[in-house]
């Protein structure tokens, strides 16, 4: 899918909680149809970045321009803007008192005032594609984690957003359910939906991303294609981070290759 014009421009974005600065001047441009995967150690500001883009956090400085509109303008009509920015959360956050279908229809019917038949047709289309149309009348508590997350993705998609934000959407899932959710996102990527994805699934990141954004301590440390980033990271910090996901060097019956006994998997010496 071809990459289109710029849709999202972030310039010198700053955000702090009290004294702690979480985003320290972030600059980033996203083009239409691009898939950005944002990775980095916990506390690096990945989630905060997504939340700022959706107006869930107030920004302290800098600019966010989305489709020609300044989201950093305090006059922003967030209800209207959020219809164009879909967001999926780590813990699904389906509304427990509504069925899967009602969860999906709430936005189109109440916020966008669409016709019932039209909204229903859209919901049916998406639910069928994620394989859950026959579960439409189930309440969230009757669904597995993976099913809930797929419904949550459809809930965001049903608003017909221009960009999707995924905030660690597989972090709460049992391992065997991670795949079914990631496959949905992968399909969306192929179809050219613009997406910002925060994840810890490195193999998935490699597969889905057009660009990898490596964030550490509130700044972008690397912005590279997945091949470059994973095979040849430019900075020490990125190398160190990627090492966390590497177990090849260790085997419990041997010492660590390369360094002597100081590997994170060797128990500390107490006596």
Is position 184 an interface residue for another protein (rule: CB under 8 A)?
no
Total residues at the site for another protein (CB under 8 A)?
A: 27
Segment near another protein (CB under 8 A), from 62-70, 72-80, 117-125, 234-242?
72-80
Instruction: Show the binding pattern over residues 151-180: x = contacts another protein (CB under 8 A), - = does not.
Output: ----xx--x---------------------
Distance between CA 33 and CA 185 in Å, rounded? 13
Is position 112 an interface residue for another protein (rule: CB under 8 A)?
yes
Is position 82 an interface residue for another protein (rule: CB under 8 A)?
yes
Is position 145 an interface residue for another protein (rule: CB under 8 A)?
no
Segment near another protein (CB under 8 A), from 84-92, 125-133, 179-187, 195-203?
84-92
Question: Which two structure tokens, joined as six digits, stand for 72?
Answer: 């950093």
Instruction: Show the binding pattern over residues 122-141: x = contacts another protein (CB under 8 A), - = does not.
Output: -----------------x-x
DSSP state of 255: P
Please compute, for residue 91, the number of CA atoms within 13 A of its CA located in the half-sphere on the CB side.
4
Is position 93 an interface residue for another protein (rule: CB under 8 A)?
yes
Distance between CA 116 and CA 97 in Å, rounded? 20
Comparing CB distances to another protein, the nearer of 54 and 266 is 54
DSSP string, 108-147: IIIIS---HHHHHHHHHHHHHHTT-GGGTT--GGGS-HHH
DSSP state of 107: I
**One residue of 56, 120, 186, 256 binding another protein per CB under 8 A:** 56
Distance between CA 145 and CA 73 in Å, rounded? 37
Is position 79 an interface residue for another protein (rule: CB under 8 A)?
yes
Residues facing residue 31 across a β-bridge: 6
For residues 125, 90, 146, 188, the Cα torsion angle rounded to the nearest 10 degrees is 40
Instruction: Tell me how many helices (H) and strands (E) the chain has.
Output: 9, 10
**One residue of 33, 40, 86, 145 binding another protein per CB under 8 A:** 86
**One residue of 33, 45, 55, 218 binding another protein per CB under 8 A:** 55
Pairing of strands 6-17, 194-198: unpaired
Comparing CB distances to another protein, the nearer of 106 and 234 is 106
Q: How far is the CB of 239 from another protein (least distance, A)?
A: 35
Number of CB atoms found within 10 A of residue 250's CB: 15
Give the interface with another protein as residue ranges (CB under 8 A). Answer: 54-56, 78-80, 82-83, 86-87, 89, 91, 93-97, 106-107, 110-112, 139, 141, 155-156, 159
């Amino acid at each position: 899918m071809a990459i289109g014009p710029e849709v999202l421009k972030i310039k010198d974005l700053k955000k702090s909680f009290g004294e702690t600065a979480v985003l320290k001047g972030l600059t980033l441009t996203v083009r239409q149809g691009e898939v950005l995967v944002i990775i980095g150690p916990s506390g690096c500001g990945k989630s905060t970045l997504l939340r700022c883009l959706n107006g869930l956090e107030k920004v302290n400085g800098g600019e966010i321009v989305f489709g020609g509109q300044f989201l950093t303008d305090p006059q922003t009509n967030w209800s209207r803007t959020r219809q164009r920015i879909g967001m999926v959360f780590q813990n699904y956050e389906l509304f427990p008192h509504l069925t899967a279908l009602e969860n999906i229809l709430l936005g189109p019917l109440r916020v966008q005032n669409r016709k019932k038949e039209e909204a229903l047709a859209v919901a049916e289309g998406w639910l069928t594609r994620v394989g859950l149309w026959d579960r439409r009348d189930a309440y969230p508590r009757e669904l597995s984690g993976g099913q809930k997350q797929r419904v949550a993705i459809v809930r965001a998609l049903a608003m017909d957003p221009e960009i999707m934000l995924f905030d660690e959407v597989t972090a709460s899932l049992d391992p065997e359910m991670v795949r079914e959710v990631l496959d949905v996102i992968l399909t969306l990527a192929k179809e050219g939906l613009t997406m910002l994805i925060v994840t810890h699934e490195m193999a998935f990141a490699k597969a889905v991303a057009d660009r990898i954004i490596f964030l550490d301590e509130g700044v972008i440390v690397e912005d590279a294609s997945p091949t470059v980033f994973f095979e040849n990271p430019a900075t020490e910090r990125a190398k160190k981070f990627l090492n966390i996901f590497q177990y090849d060097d260790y085997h419990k019956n041997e010492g660590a290759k390369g360094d002597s006994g100081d590997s994170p998997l060797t128990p500390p010496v107490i006596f």
